[in-house]
């Protein structure tokens, strides 16, 4: 380490120690916050007329499916019967339409033609529902769950959710109420069609296919079997695919001119493509032909720039980008040329490209073809404020770009970010903006949303990975849902009786992030006051919330979840030398607290501190945790 680097580390240590002393000394001079008193829940009074599906250990109902029912319909009927059995101990039998004679029925179907009591054109209703929409209706004591090929499953899980109280909060947290009597309203009339067509996130629980179907995630970052509705998504590559499509190993010696002249050093490089070269277009079209031959049902292929800041500055590329006022000029022109080739040859195929980093600004005159999807990435945004917050300069610029892209592109998609890649285990208090952002995406006609999260969560799972996954999944389906109800429902099921204290922690940290003109990013440091701007007495108060949450945890499951989420709070304190990690405030014990934090990281399988950096096997525990890396 250089002398200057050593000086900087010592200076930072001195500053942290100074604030630790200040924290220790100044705490009592700040007024105490009021004690938190959980608001009692109001009793739910259901005044609607009800009808019993299960009563007195028996049922008068059968589940009816068509004789030639699709695999998703059969699976939906199976899941419906299974969950009713798990709730009540009574399984509702399933029969084919030809075997049904009389009595009460639950019709599970993929066509509105089986809504045998309505007037109108069933085909028109099927078209309106599409692949994913669904209807839940009751009529004369019968129940109807109708949906598209995937929607029939969504409708079945929706029925269990809305009328049986089942929830799929996380892979490890599935709520199936136990009851001897299962009854539903006599006048159910539900119809849902998603506003956002492609819905994906890579947090932890979406690795489970049933979780995805129950919460209506449809991307193909994991495998969902055809009978569970299958996936929507990308064929042979999800992002940064230029290197994969036209690899250096194959073309550098024979077609070097397809690669960029670098803006960095003016040399030919395979880090990016030359997008104005006709040969690049020709070879990319051949690659599309190859992919379609291997995957004839493919309907979405990514043509996206390689990561990093290199782009082509050959005379033709530079002239086009200069004329369009954006490097998206060459990008969209290139993808349009490939789209013109594929439009008639592969009429169901969409080509996806990025508006990311240097291509984020929309071009002046070039417009994406109708078979092109533009995936706009919120990489530079502030995540403490809503994207449409006029008081946040970073987000104002991005919101303007989003509106411009929406005005010129028929198919706008959004790649959003929901984690801090520099501190995967630290607080990322963005719960106050998730719903506002999703509504803004929907209102600007986003056809798809990908919420990138901590995709390392399997080895850095602390804070609120499952909560954030659940809320994002629900919001992608319905941006206008009751956010507080969804949030509180998760907390109750996941953390037990101490959930109110964790809710208050979320509310406090949300309020105390990005205030006083500060802004966060996906790389904010833990000592950045934009992340958490807390006074010493507020830190003490938050400490008490975690103590109470642990005291109220009535089982090992709840206590484990509370302790796991508390790791992020402890990580923040340790990086700032606050509270028990303060050298001045706890001179004889702060090192032991670091040891405890490291031990708990090991207990909970936390191996990674930041993106692409595993934690050291033998960290120097006298250092702050962000330095526990090799």
Nearest to 378 by CA among 434, 302, 312, 461: 434
Residues 182 and 243 in one domain: no
Confidence band, pLDDT 50/70/90 cuts, at residue 75: very high
Tell me which H or E stretch contains 142: strand 142-147
Strands of 254-370, DSSP E: 259-261, 268-273, 300-302, 350-355
Q: Dihedrals φ, ψ of 434, to 5°?
A: -60, -45
The whole-angstrom separation of Cα 545 and Cα 507 is: 12
Whether residue 69 is contained in a domain is answered as yes
> How sure is the predictor about 318, in pLDDT bands with cuts at 50, 70 and 90?
very high
Structural domain includes residue 321: yes
How many Å apart are CA 68 and CA 150, to the nearest integer? 17
The DSSP secondary-structure symbol of 180 reads: S
pLDDT computed for residue 344 by the predictor:
98
Q: Which residues partner with 350 through β-bridges?
A: 300
The pairing of beta strand 104-109 with beta strand 268-273:
unpaired
Q: Band the pLDDT of 193: cuts 50, 70, 90.
A: very high
For residues 425 and 432, give the distance between their C-alpha atoms in angstroms, rounded to a whole number: 19
pLDDT of residue 48: 79
Encode pLDDT of 320-339 as tens digits.
999 999 999 999 999 999 99
586, 469, 570: which is closest to 211 by C-alpha?
A: 469
Strand partners, 302: 352
Query: What is the per-residue pLDDT for 397?
Result: 97
What CATH number did the domain enclosing 67 receive? Answer: 3.30.379.10
Can you tell me whether residue 114 is helix, strand or coil?
Answer: helix
Backbone torsions φ then ψ of 401, nearest 5 degrees: -65, -40
Average pLDDT, stretch 162-172? Answer: 97
Please tell me the distance from the alpha carbon of residue 499 to that of residue 545, in angstroms, as a whole number.
10
255 and 134 within one domain: no
Q: How far apart are CA 418 and CA 426, in angstroms?
A: 12
289 within 8 A of 261, measured Cβ to Cβ: no
Question: Which tokens go with 156?
Answer: 């079945």
pLDDT at 118: 81
| Rounded Cα gap, residues 193 and 477, in angstroms | 8
Distance CA 555, CA 560 (A): 9
Average pLDDT over residues 50-62: 97
Residue closest to 594 by CA, chosen among 583, 608, 581, 603 = 581
Q: Say how many CA atoms lie within 13 Å of 331 toward its Cβ.
A: 32
In 3D space, the residue among 406, 362, 401 whose CA is nearest the CA of residue 378 turns out to be 401
C-alpha radius of gyration, the chain, whole number: 27
Domain boundary among 136, 160, 193: 193
On whether both 74 and 164 belong to a single domain, the answer is yes
Mind listing the pLDDT tens digit for each residue in 122-142? 999 999 999 999 999 999 999
Q: What is the mean pLDDT of the chain?
A: 92
Residue pointed to by tokens 């934690």 = 615
**Using CA atoms, how far apart are residues 163 and 50, in angstroms rounded to an integer?**
11
Q: Could you tell me if residue 303 is inside a domain?
A: yes
Mean pLDDT of 334-358: 98
Q: Closest Cα to residue 104, out of 95, 191, 118?
A: 95
User: Which of 333, 354, 375 lies at the terminal end of a domain, its last residue?
Assistant: 354
Question: Is 617 inside a domain boundary?
Answer: no
pLDDT of residue 38 exceeding 70:
no
40 in Cβ contact with 173 (< 8 Å): no
Partners of residue 50 on adjacent β-strands: 185
Q: Tell me what pLDDT residue 120 has.
A: 79
pLDDT > 70? residue 457: yes
Structure tokens at 283: 């070879």
pLDDT of 24 over the 60 cut:
no
- Percent of the chain residues past pLDDT 70, beyond the cut: 93
Same domain, 75 and 129: yes
How many Cβ atoms are within 10 Å of 265's Cβ, its own excluded?
9
Same domain assignment for residues 178 and 273: no
Secondary structure, 3-state, 544-609: HHHHHHHHHCCCHHHHHHHHHHHHHHHHHHHHHCCHHHCCCCCCCCHHHHHHHHHHHHHHCCCCEE
pLDDT band with cut points at 50, 70 and 90 for residue 117: confident
Return contacts of 582-589, CB within 8 angstroms, 24+ apart. 582/20, 582/21, 582/23, 582/24, 583/17, 583/20, 584/17, 584/20, 584/21, 584/23, 584/24, 585/20, 585/21, 585/23, 585/24
Q: What is the pLDDT of residue 116?
A: 84
The answer as to whether 138 is a domain residue is yes
| pLDDT (average), residues 185-206 | 95
Residues 148 and 250 placed together within one structural domain of the fold: no
Alpha-carbon gap, residue 243 to 266, rounded angstroms: 19
594 pLDDT higher than 80: yes
Q: What pLDDT shows up at residue 44? A: 45
Tell whether the model's pLDDT for residue 275 goes beyond 70: yes
Are 259 and 183 part of one and the same domain?
Answer: no
Question: Which is nearest to 599 in space by CA: 569, 580, 573, 625?
Answer: 625
DSSP run (H or E) holding 335: helix 328-345
Q: In this structure, are 93 and 152 located in the same domain?
A: yes
Residues sharing a CB contact under 8 Å with residue 38, sequence separation 6 or more, in sequence order = 500
Least confident of 7-11, 269-273, 360-364, 485-489: 7-11
**pLDDT tens digits, residue range 502-522?**
999 999 999 999 999 999 999
Same domain, 326 and 261: yes
The pTM of the full predicted model, rounded to 2 decimals, is 0.91
Q: Do 57 and 187 share a domain, yes or no? A: yes
| % helix, strand, coil for the chain, step of 5 | 45, 15, 40
Residue 493, domain member (yes or no):
no
Instruction: Report the greatest alpha carbon distance in the chain.
Output: 88
pLDDT band for 119, please (50, 70, 90 cuts).
confident
The count of structural domains within the chain is 2
Number of residues that make up the chain: 630
544, two tokens = 């008490």
What's phi and psi for 458, nearest 5 deg?
-65, -20
**For residue 200, pLDDT beyond 50:** yes
Is the pLDDT reported for residue 9 higher than 50?
Answer: no
- Gap between the Cα atoms of 139 and 187, Å rounded: 7
Across the range 537-550, mean pLDDT stands at 98
Are 157 and 260 found together in one domain? no
> Is residue 517 in some structural domain?
no
- The mean per-residue pLDDT over the stretch 16-25 comes to 36
Q: For residues 598 and 481, give the distance between their C-alpha atoms in angstroms, rounded to a whole number.
A: 39
Query: Is the dihedral angle over the CA atoms 344, 348, 349, 350 positive or is it negative?
Result: positive
Question: ∠ CA 604-607-609 to the nearest 5 degrees?
Answer: 115
Tell me the CA distances in angstroms from 370 to 316, 332, 347, 485, one per residue in order: 25, 12, 11, 39
Q: What percent of the chain has pLDDT over 90?
A: 90
CA distances from 507 to 39, 96, 408, 484 (A): 14, 51, 38, 11
Give me the pLDDT at residue 46, please: 54
Residue 392 lies in a domain: no
Over the stretch 398-446, which tens digit does the pLDDT of each residue have? 999 999 999 999 999 999 999 999 999 999 999 999 999 999 999 999 9
Between CA 152 and CA 135 the distance in angstroms is: 8
Question: What crossing angle do the helices spanning 499-511 and 556-576 adopt, rounded to 10°?
Answer: 30
Give residue 158's domain range: 50-193
Q: If we measure between CA atoms, which residue out of 564, 460, 456, 557 comes closest to residue 502? A: 564
Instruction: State both tokens at 304.
Output: 């996206």
User: How would residue 3 be classed by pLDDT, with cut points 50, 70 and 90?
Assistant: very low
Same structural domain, 155 and 57: yes
């Amino acid at each position: 380490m250089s002398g200057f680097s050593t000086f900087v580390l010592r200076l930072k240590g001195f500053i942290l120690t100074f604030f630790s002393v200040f924290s220790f000394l100044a705490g009592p001079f700040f007024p105490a916050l009021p004690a938190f008193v959980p608001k009692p829940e109001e009793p739910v009074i259901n005044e609607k007329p009800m009808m019993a599906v299960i009563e007195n250990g028996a049922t008068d109902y059968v589940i009816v499916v068509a004789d030639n029912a699709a695999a998703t319909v059969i699976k939906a009927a199976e899941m419906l019967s299974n969950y009713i059995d798990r709730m009540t101990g009574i399984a509702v039998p399933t029969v084919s339409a030809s075997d049904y004679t009389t009595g009460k029925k639950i019709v599970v179907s993929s066509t509105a033609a089986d809504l045998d009591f309505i007037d109108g054109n069933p085909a028109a209703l099927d078209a309106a529902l599409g692949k994913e929409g669904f209807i839940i209706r009751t009529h004369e004591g019968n129940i109807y769950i109708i949906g598209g090929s995937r929607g029939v499953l969504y409708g079945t899980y929706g029925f269990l959710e809305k009328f049986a109280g089942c929830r799929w909060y996380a892979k490890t947290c599935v709520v199936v109420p136990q009851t001897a009597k299962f009854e539903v309203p006599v006048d159910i009339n539900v119809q849902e069609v998603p506003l956002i067509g492609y819905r994906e996130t890579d947090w932890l629980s979406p690795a489970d296919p049933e979780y995805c179907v129950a919460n209506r995630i449809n991307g193909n970052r994991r495998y969902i079997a055809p009978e569970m509705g299958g996936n929507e998504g990308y064929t042979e590559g999800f992002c940064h695919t230029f290197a994969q499509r036209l690899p250096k190993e194959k073309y550098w010696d024979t077609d070097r001119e397809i690669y960029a002249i670098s803006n960095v050093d003016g040399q030919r490089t395979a880090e990016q493509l030359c997008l104005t070269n006709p040969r690049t277009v020709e070879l990319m079209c051949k690659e599309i032909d190859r992919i379609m031959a291997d995957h004839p049902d493919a309907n979405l292929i990514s043509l996206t720039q390689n990561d990093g800041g290199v782009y082509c500055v050959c005379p033709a590329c530079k002239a086009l980008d200069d004329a369009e006022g954006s490097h998206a000029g060459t990008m969209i022109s290139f993808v349009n040329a490939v789209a013109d080739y594929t439009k008639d040859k592969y009429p169901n195929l969409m080509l996806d490209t990025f508006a990311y980093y240097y291509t984020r600004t929309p071009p002046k005159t070039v417009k994406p073809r109708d078979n092109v999807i533009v995936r706009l990435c919120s990489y530079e945004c502030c995540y403490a404020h809503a994207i449409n917050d006029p008081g946040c300069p970073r987000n104002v610029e991005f919101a303007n770009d989003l509106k411009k892209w929406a005005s010129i592109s028929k198919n706008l998609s959004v790649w959003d970010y929901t984690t801090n890649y520099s501190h995967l285990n630290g607080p990322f208090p963005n719960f106050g903006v998730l719903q506002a952002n999703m509504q803004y995406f929907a209102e600007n006609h986003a056809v798809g949303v990908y919420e990138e999260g901590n995709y390392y969560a399997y080895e850095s799972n602390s804070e609120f990975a499952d909560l954030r996954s659940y809320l994002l999944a629900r919001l992608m389906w319905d941006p206008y849902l009751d956010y507080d109800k969804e949030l509180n429902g998760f907390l109750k099921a996941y953390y037990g009786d101490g959930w109110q204290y964790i809710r208050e922690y979320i509310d406090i940290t949300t309020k105390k992030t990005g205030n006083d003109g500060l802004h966060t990013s996906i790389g904010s440091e833990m000592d950045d006051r934009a992340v958490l701007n807390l006074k010493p007495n507020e830190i003490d108060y938050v400490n008490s919330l975690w103590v109470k949450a642990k005291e109220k945890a009535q089982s090992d499951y709840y206590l484990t979840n509370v302790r796991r989420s508390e790791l992020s709070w402890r990580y923040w304190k340790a990086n700032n030398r606050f509270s028990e990690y303060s050298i001045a405030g706890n001179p004889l014990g702060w090192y032991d607290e670091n040891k405890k934090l490291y031990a708990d990281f090991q207990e909970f399988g936390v191996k990674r501190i930041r993106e692409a950096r595993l934690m050291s096997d033998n960290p120097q525990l006298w250092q702050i945790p962000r330095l526990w890396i090799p």
